[in-house]
Structure 1
Amino acid sequence: MLKPSKLGYAELTVRDLEGMTHYYSEILGFTLMEEDEQGRRYFSSGLDHHNIILTPVNESNLLSMGFQLAKDVSLIDAQKELNKLGVPSELKTDAQPGISEFLELQDPDGFNVHLYTEIEMPAPRFKEKGIIPNKLGHLALASTNPIKTAEFYKDVLGFYYTDKIDERANFLTCNTDHHVLNVSNLGKRLGQSNLYHIAFELRDASHQYQAMDILARNNIKVLWGPNRHTAGHNIAAYHHDPDGNLVELFIDMDQLIPGLGYFDPRPWHEDFPMLPRYWDDNSQWGTKFEETLLDYASKKFEKVSNKN
């Protein structure tokens, strides 16, 4: 079975290209690597050629996700395996700077999934200005059919479930991080698939405090958190980017021991061993906020409808 090693990049369609460019380069501290002929801008967190792509269109959404496979995987063989599963794909060459070839397929919500084995690593290293996350941590999808989409990633790409929260969230991973995907039912609520949130890993609590100060200095309001989640036990704080996307900055994500099926023990775990499970809520500390994360993620759609 195909099984990615990591979430490599996210491609976002953006309405406010200049605002989002300033956000990713000056606030988050990513390095702008290049701009292609179609106006897409490629940003690196520090090693790979890109981890974020901004594509200018008159819509804010998640367009593509890039997952890196092991280097010894043949994309031709991978395509044959997908064909056996009845999943159509296209092998694309030189379609993106930094990646010579990738397989493109679509998940049940219509998000493009790119599978690749190698990416150029110009290693601009971490900048000294901005929040400077460790990495792109995970993507949360606003799915119109979350169970079908979650099962697609499990059955087709070898992801496995780690936790669930009511009907709101299905957490899946392809490596040791508690989740690299969160498939939520927000799309059912919106009537369309979209990005629920995008998340970046920070180093530790002091880094998270510093990040909150940087957001405040740039008049970016922290909407939810910092607070410890139940699923994943990460301490997370959320804000909106210039396009209205919900962005999570987190620390302390649970680490799965795949061969054993439980998470590396932590003092704040409810169970020993901590196994994948079902949760009723997303706040371990019981903190209540003015609105839910789903409400905050829906704000950008309210703004768009008000403009029309």
Structure 2
Amino acid sequence: MAPKDFSVRVGQEEIGRIFNLKENLDLKDLLVTYAPHYQQLGWVLVGMKSPAGAQLEFDLSQPAALWSQQLSEMGADQGQINIGIRTGKASNLLVLEVNQGEGALSLDQWGDWRAGCVAEMGGCREQHYYALPLEAPAPPSFFLAPQVLIYGEGGLVLAPPSLEPQAREPWRWRRPPWEAPPLPPKPAVWQFLKEYIPAALVKPEVQSWEEIYRMIAPHGALLKALLVPPTSQDEYYQGIIKTARGLGFKDPALLFGLLWHAPHGEARQNPEKRDYLQELAATARDRQEGGASAPGLPARMDGGAWPDKPASHPETASPVTQPTQDV
């Protein structure tokens, strides 16, 4: 065959693979660039393989110099590496991910809600990043599928340059946090959360013992129930609830606080007991009222659980308004 007749043909599948490898390398380079910025903001990072979502063996919370070489050694053919940020109190971060159509419209009705720090994906979805005020409770993570996703306490949001698993498109910064640092949520965001957040997901703040003691000090029987040596933890807690309700204390938040601060209890040494104690307090209320509320009904939050006006800066956040006690 004459040299002029020789040619190399590359199939469409191979061309696609070459472009994918180049894209993976470009996104990994961006990850190495972005991660130190995220660390400087105090964000807790998690590395994951896309699209499986399996966590990487190396720790992205370490300085980039310790893991960037490991990332390079993985090779472009091993797929895209995504970077997740733990939201809520872990990073003092709240992220609203919205569909630019219905999702944005559902928030527009509450007023100006948009953040200055924004990422986008494929021209159809946006992520709005907010700094949580230090004294405000972190909203739980939940979603109004598929228009609005709220990444709050316990959430893990994919941040740029992560590749969205379903759309197979990367998240890109429109205004990155090192140029537009996240600010506290605007009043419209808090109003939106008040309206839509599932009340069952909210973990109330524990009332202080000083506040509780002022209410129960005149009632010797309740003080005795708190001080009696327990034969078992369950009987001890049940005895406190029974005595408190017999004296007219019905507010679940107060009952929960009594159980939390009970001197012979184990909640303060074992915070995992929190859900158990909340359930005990709620169950006592349900028994008194003849049963729990019907499942499937929309849940509403107590309006006092979130601040109406965010502070201008996290360090100067106003204390969260506490609900009035019903005793």
Which structure's residues are more often strand, by fraction? 1
Of Structure 1 and Structure 2, the greater helix share is in 2
Q: TM-score, normalised by structure 1?
A: 0.26
Larger radius of gyration: 2
